[in-house]
Amino acid sequence: MPELPEVETIRRQLAPRLPGRRILAAHTHPSDKFTPARAATGTTIQGINRRGKYLIAPLDDGRELIIHLGMTGSLMVMAESSPERNEDPYIRAWWQLDHGESLIFRDIRRFGRIRCVPAGRYDTIPTLAAQGPDALSAEFTPEGFYQALRRSRRRIPTQLLSQKPVAGVGNIYATEALWMAGIHPGERRISRIQAAKLHTTLVQVLEAGLANGGTTLRDYRNADGGRGSHQHALACYGRSGQPCLSCATPLQHRTYDARTLTFCPQCQSR
């Protein structure tokens, strides 16, 4: 699933291309996950923002077009006449823009979703309404993070993936940050010192992922159709059975709360 670095990479690539563009028409797959895209017809896109894993495009009529990429979604701008635009079976929504181009939402597994709502009114998007501070924002502080984690007895990775203590973190970057912080993925409580260390490592792994254009394990593509390269820099995620890069102990994996997590039994002992 695209996480903060992948979504932010797409946002940065689209930022110079979308503001001021008029949506002349919109077409979608018949699923109600995608049909709200049609409501943006006739508006002008004013920008492209991000909150956690959500892309948010303010429109000139006071609404926002909100896009969640799901597990396999991607966005790109391409010419209306492009063969890929007309032949790709995985395009779920497309907005016809002025100047002969379209904004394309491609989603192989159809777990993405689109909404068009009054600006800031996210009551119909519970995961967006309830999410915590963005992981790369000034609002994400060590103390606030610690207090948010204290309010739940769920395992720390499960809390991270809920988006409530911090927004934008998924399984890949949570695994990397927990390994760097030396925190076992089965822990339900951590100290204030551990939370501060995890806060630091979360920011570090997300910034590294962003610097590498995101992680492409299989389906992720950025707005230019390219792949990220951060998969080559992963120290823990997906490396079960291989030696820990810190202590050489073979990494292990275990399923917690229906999520398979890799960890080092030596560096992340309980």
Active-site residue flag, 3: yes
Sequence letter at residue 45: I
Any residues with CB less than 8 A from the CB of 55 and at least 6 apart, and which? 7, 10, 11, 48, 49, 66, 67, 68, 69, 75
Sequence letter at residue 246: S
Active-site residue flag, 33: no
Active-site residue flag, 2: yes
Given the residues 2, 5, 58, 185, the one annotated as active site: 2
* Buried residues in 62-71 as b, exposed as e (16+ CB within 10 A): ebbbbbbbbb
Active-site residue flag, 84: no
Given the residues 53, 92, 115, 221, the one annotated as active site: 53
Among 149, 191, 178, 164, CA closest to 236: 178
Given the residues 22, 192, 227, 259, the one annotated as active site: 259
End-to-end CA distance of the chain: 28
Question: How far apart, in Å, are the Cα atoms of 215 and each of 46, 76, 83, 108, 247?
Answer: 28, 17, 27, 17, 25
Given the residues 3, 6, 101, 176, the one annotated as active site: 3
d(CA 222, CA 10): 5
d(CA 218, CA 216): 6
Q: Which residues are catalytic?
A: 2-3, 53, 259
